Amino acid sequence: MPSREEKLSTIQKIFSGSKGILAADESVPTAGKRLESIGVPSTPETRQKYREIFLTTPGIESYLSGVIFFDETFRQSLNGKSFPKLVEEKGIVPGIKVDKGAVDSLEFPGEKITVGLDGLPARLAEYYALGARFAKWRAVITIGNNIPTDGCLIKNAGILAEYSKNCLDAGIVPIIEPEVLLDGEHSIEKSEAITTKTLRITFNSLKNLNLPLNEVILKTSMVVPGNKSGEPMDPSKIAEATVRCLKNSVPAEVGGIVFLSGGQTPVQATVNLNAISKLKPLPWPTSFSYARALQGDPLKIWQGKDENILAAQAVFLKRLKLNCAANRAQAEQSSYDGNRGEYRGEE
């Protein structure tokens, strides 16, 4: 019987101080797209090298409490040490993305269903044995003409609940990630309404299975206007809408909430996190769990060249530092330049 204490202690570690999670869990095709964007062919070796930049940056343990891996990366190693072991030795909790992607739904045209429940208990048992203490499952919610439908939201929510149950039975903390995409012409009000509805349906479905919500982490999109809406990204408006949405939909006993960056620029993701932190205290611990907003700039600097690795790592570390500061709401301090999302004197 997996221990409840271990799962609670995993959550405590994840939300320790102002640290956050690196989402280094892009699937092979997505990692390939990232590499191709800098003209590097995608092979197991180049993907390994890309991950190494982040995992071997000196000092990450001061800012990262967790790293989410993908199956391929979870099994890769450096100098005989597996990647999960490498981060675990730095006091960072290894996690694993276990869904097998979002596919077009036949039942709900224009919407997606996330798959991967088949054989999940056996996979989770193996990941646990290899060191994973938390997992992630992403559902994709698109806002458009007459979508999302309640039917598709309920379907994805049921799958998220089933996944969570499997994780908890395996001693693994589930991160549930129903991501409401920012793509589209919708207003911030529409984004708030859809995100609130999505989260309510999701937590109802977890409650229907009687799952202990204090052993579950929510990974959510911030409430932002659609990227084709023409509305500005106003940090205080985004923070107010996000916090109101979460308070209206996420039970207080949930173990914690982390935000994804979802296509925001690295600076926007930091500034908006900071604006949210200014509204603390909240009923749950909160932090960041970014992929693109942490790795995007270092990727561009690296360009696949060894001589650029140190510069890429410096930018990565700086962005981690800024996000931890944002998570402590350090914009209260006069050294914070909200327009640039940067802290003077930290260059």
- Residue closer to ligand 13P (CB basis): 64 or 79: 64
Q: Which residues are catalytic?
A: 177, 219
Residue of 23, 64, 322, 329 interacting with ligand 13P (CB under 6 A) = 23
For residues 24 and 73, the answer to whether their CB atoms sit within 8 Å is yes
Least CB distance to ligand 13P at residue 136 (A):
7
Q: Does 15 bind ligand 13P (CB under 6 A)?
A: no
**How many residues contact ligand 13P, by CB under 6 A?**
10
CB of 10 to ligand 13P, least distance (A): 18
Classify residue 237 by burial, with Cβ atoms within 10 Å: 0-12, 13-18, 19+.
Answer: middle
Determine the Cα–Cα distance for residues 140 and 177; give it in Å rounded to an integer.
Answer: 8
| Least separation in angstroms between CB 164 and ligand 13P | 16
Binding part of the chain for ligand 13P, among 56-64, 159-167, 205-213, 258-266 by CB under 6 A, reads: 258-266
Q: Is 262 in the site for ligand 13P (CB under 6 A)?
A: yes
Q: Which residues contact 84 (CB under 8 A, 6 or more apart)?
A: 69, 74, 94, 130, 131, 132
Q: Which is nearer to ligand 13P, 23 or 53 (CB)?
A: 23
Task: For 304, list phi and psi in degrees, rounded to 5.
Answer: 75, 10
Q: DSSP 3-state helix, strand, coil percentages of the chain (rounded to 5)? A: 45, 20, 35
Distance CA 119, CA 71 (A): 14
With binding defined as CB under 6 A, does residue 138 bind ligand 13P? yes
Query: Residue 16: what residue type?
Result: S
Residue 221 beta carbon to ligand 13P: minimum distance, rounded to whole angstroms: 8
Applying CB under 6 A, which of residues 160, 293, 322, 324 lies at the interface with ligand 13P? 293
The secondary structure of residue 147, as a DSSP letter, is B
Which chain residues interact with ligand 13P by CB under 6 A? 23, 138, 177, 260-262, 290-293
